[in-house]
Amino acid sequence: MKGSETAEFQRALEDFALASGHLVAIELDAAGRLHDYNKGFSLAVSAAGESHGQPFGAFFPPRKGNPQAIVPGLPGGLAVPYRLVSWDGRELLLHAYPLADEHILLLGMPLNPDESLAMQRMSGLTTEMGNLVRELRRANRRILDLARTDVLTGLPNRRYFYERLGEAVEQARHLRRPLSVLMIDLDHFKRVNDRFGHAGGDAVLTAFAELLRGRARAGDFPGRLGGEELALLLPDTDAEQGQRVAERLRADAARLRPLDEAAVFTVSIGVATWRDGETGEALLARADEALYAAKTAGRDRVVVAGSASGGAVGAH
């Protein structure tokens, strides 16, 4: 677990430990060593001194009938229960949960002479902790989605688009496949805001974002980079194909009427295709230069970066 999930999980775990009494909490790393543990563990196994980095078997030796390895979970997200015997003969009931980086979380409690009562209590604690872990994971996924999404359009935001751009470039390099990107700008957007207000501008942005999302093919990745500037990532697409995609998008945008039938809106588009050894930022910069050329040439057109004629197509 990383970032906000780590902090939230730690706070929840501490609250849970305080509320549940004799909770034993152990985190094992991928090699089966103690990465972290709570006071309940030290008390339960009479551990003296520093235990971080010690192998799990030092406290629960195999000669006591303990398993050689801990399995962190069953299909369906169910925790795996383990009845373990410490080096000094104390019995504990622990449940194993998977964490990030192949770490394992063990939660449980010592078994007292009234085993039926201990088993009943542990079952309740395990259910409660399992629910807490699932809720935290759902919340973390929701936070991640919000951090990656532009609030107005619902498209991936600039940060997420750049992340996927870098991944797409690495994939194109590895598979030796073409990759193109479109940089798109809504023409005369300031005039839209001046005439219809910011609510009108938002309506135009939202309508075009919906068009962009609907025209994206399987594997394509649209995004809003900021203001009236959007982009579309086109894996497995060469310059000629990218130009065709851009021209269809330009033509469809001219038919949008998000405000009234008299208000016509157009877009300018720059197209660039990845060159071997080029970074994602450099690719996007060339698409941006082509976009600037499209706007300079009169807007409502497509320009392909690097073509001999400038690659301008569209309304003239």
DSSP string, 101-149: GG-EEEEEEE--S-HHHHHHHHHHHHHHHHHHHHHHHHHHHHHHHHHHB
Can you state the angle between helices 115-148 and 158-175, rounded to 10 degrees?
90
Count other C-beta atoms under 10 Å from residue 313's C-beta.
19
Helices (H), ranges, the chain: 3-20, 39-44, 115-148, 158-175, 189-215, 239-254, 280-296
If you ran DSSP here, which 8-state letter would residue 71 be given?
-
Tokens found for residue 301: 């057109």
* Rounded CA separation 178/275 (Å): 9
Q: What does residue 252 show for φ and ψ, rounded to 5 degrees?
A: -65, -40
CA neighbours within 13 Å on the CB side: how many for 208? 28
| SS3 call for 174 | helix
* 228 assigned to active site: yes
Tokens found for residue 106: 């063990």
Q: Which one of the listed residues 228, 240, 261, 289 is annotated catalytic?
A: 228
Count other C-beta atoms under 10 Å from residue 59's C-beta.
24
If you ran DSSP here, which 8-state letter would residue 74 be given?
B
DSSP bridge partners of 22 = none
Are 295 and 282 spatial neighbours (Cβ–Cβ below 8 Å)? no
Catalytic amino acids?
228
